[in-house]
Structure 1
Amino acid sequence: MAVRFVRSTVAAAFALLLGAVAARADEPSYGPNTYDRTLEALIAHEDIANRGGWPKLPGSVTALKPDAQGPDVALLKQRLMLSGDLPPEALPGDVYDANVVAAVKRFQIRHGLSDLGTVGRLTLKAMNTPVEMRLNQLTATLERLKGNGFSFAERYVVVNIPGASVEAVENGQVQRRHLAIVGRPDRPSPVLQASISSVNLNPTWTVPTSIVKADIIPHMRKDAGFLAKSHMRLLGAENREIDPATVNWASLTSPYFTVRQDPGPDNSLGQMKIDMPNTEAVYLHDTPKKSLFRNDVRFNSSGCARIEGVRDLGAWLLEGTEWTLPAIEAEIAKGERKNISLKKQVPVAWVYLTGWQGADGLVHFREDIYGLDTPQGIVTSTIQRRKPKPKPVVPIDARPMAKGEPAPAPRAPAKTAAN
């Protein structure tokens, strides 16, 4: 009776979820509806927890291939059925058939993993994450959204840091989705809101002092030709170039110069930077290391976000101007720096969501890469409401008098030390 109840409950949830996929496929994962959708996911996972959660899979599951057969396959099918990835009617049997392949792919998509249809190390780790931890992730998202201070405009961009992904949203619909590379744990990307102001073509890169200390100086100690190979220059006062050979790299701790990388395809920012002035000095940009986008774990930057297909995103930001994608490509080919200001700035939010019911109607989870799904971490990783600028106080003697209003009485002189 209990098994029949579980199957019927999961079947109903599975049917609802399939309907939701079609209805919500173009909705953003971070938008006005995210709270309500995630609350639905929380309730569903509380039900799973109340029924004992899902089974833990043995490491031997990673050896399974399509057409395999045996008890490991049966256990895998049970795990997938309980999370709504495998239809209950496909549960009987112990063969790794097409239904299992599709269910594993569905699970992998929900967890930001390559949808290969077989269980690798990262997939096994995600499958063996207890439902209680998933509940904590969903709860953390709901708490962040309760205190959310971001206003969802007609057009906006969202960077989900744990998801290492970007969405461009217009009129409540996702127009573009991009993979991203965000900050590694020791150089995390910040949670913030800002406004995208311009698109820079063939940018130079002024290396932050922290990176000069942590990366450039150690490289120069090992290889005196590192700056030249990287097309970097040392600039002193009034942008006068300094010969790297005159610098005592062995004893240098605090640089007295600026390091700037020339424009070009090898530039660390690639050939496009999307500027969004903010106190954290982060931005969106291209990268010459495009192979990194093929990785499931994309936490490799020093805080900024590298964007796959960033030129398409730039063209979307510049829609309504002469800067179409072909025009952008042609301008980049010239190799010259070009700064294009947006006619209307576009809000951007960098958020930290590790569990949510997303744009595709599925319940998504990502690793809590910075360890912020804690009470204090939730506070520090929530976009705070912007404080309104205080209105200037107009002294009563300075404000215009209303018609018929008596003039104010003269004020007594203020007491001072001289009085």
Structure 2
Amino acid sequence: MSFFSLVKKEIKELLTPSTILPMIITVFLFVALGNAFGNIAEEVEKKQDIGLINCDNGIFSDIAVQEIEKFANIKYEGKDEGEIDKVLNEFKDKIICIIFIPSNFSENIDSSKQAEIKIYWLVKGLGLGDIVSSAFFDNVFATISNKISSEIIEKNGINSTNVLLPLAKKEITILKNNEIEGISPQMLSNFLYSQSVTIPIVMMIIIMMSGGMVISSMGMEKENKTLETLLTLPIRRSEIVVGKITGSAVVGLMMATIYMIGFGYYINSFQASSQIKLADYGLNLSGYDYLLIALSVFLALTSALAMCVVLGVFAKNYKSAQTLTLPLSMLALIPMFLIMFKDFETMPALLKIILFIIPFSHPMMAPRFLLFNNYFMVIAGIAYVAIFSIIFMLIAVKIFNTDKLITGT
């Protein structure tokens, strides 16, 4: 058996319906959820269909109606309070609410009293998609209040802008010697949310799944006695180890790509569109940066698989192999949570050391380092993970040359 035949065998054994089906289902689930949340966001932003009963003929009710027309489609417009029941019966499935402006609306404002607008919400269900549209009137109400306040102030010959907005806020965020004007830390966090969350979670999933497949595969080979047959073939033990890792890495990278697309689509459904481009502030990744990230991901996956081959030696059968994935899972979960909530630069020295030692941390941190041109940490991480992978490969080869592979002790 040649090396490439061994790699092909490993890929065929790992790409079974039991591994492919969960991948496809998970991706479709991410896409479906992304579409669902994206549709909810679009529902909030689009003009809503409403009914309007305006019993007032004053200037302030006219202002209110003009602002309402900017945010909503008025499907029914009346001038008598008695029409509310008619609208409820005839338009209950076509509109989300009825806005009622009483006859004393403008009179109360002119008398320095608080005017009132009634809203009859037509709730069709208690699901998130059913009640979210009610949020649109918050903006309408605030705009109407500002317009009416401006009208009152302008009557007295005063500039309403200076009264209503006496302060102007100009934000400048200084991050790692980069001066970013017009963006707050919260806005910056929202822009970087996708890369801060997607890569750590996808890396954690891939390491746990591909690692579990390798260990389980070795457990099955021992249980079915196929591993003993493989060891009798005229091929070097080192080629068996490298073949297993290469085959698993190919499958792992396929999974990483598929999950990255699906999960990325899901995460991006939460991102609000913005006219601000981080590239204008020098915060962007080049093609060279993406190559470094891909190399970091590949080496981290290789190191995980090399560890799994060593752990798989101790699996006596398929059942016992399941428990051996726990150490790997913990090593994938720890950096994921740390990197999602803290920046490497702001961590205590001890946490930095722990994070650097865990090989799976480096592809999770690489995008953030590269955004700020910290190539030293990325290249140092790649070198460390490469050395880590080679060491575990050598350990695996050494074990494969002993009886421990068969006895598991």
TM tier, shorter chain? Answer: under 0.3
Q: Choose between structure 1 and 2: higher helix proportion.
A: 2
Q: TM-score, normalised on structure 1?
A: 0.21
Q: TM-score, normalised on structure 2?
A: 0.22
Q: Choose between structure 1 and 2: higher strand proportion.
A: 1
The structure whose RCO (Cα within 8 Å, separation 6+) is larger is 1
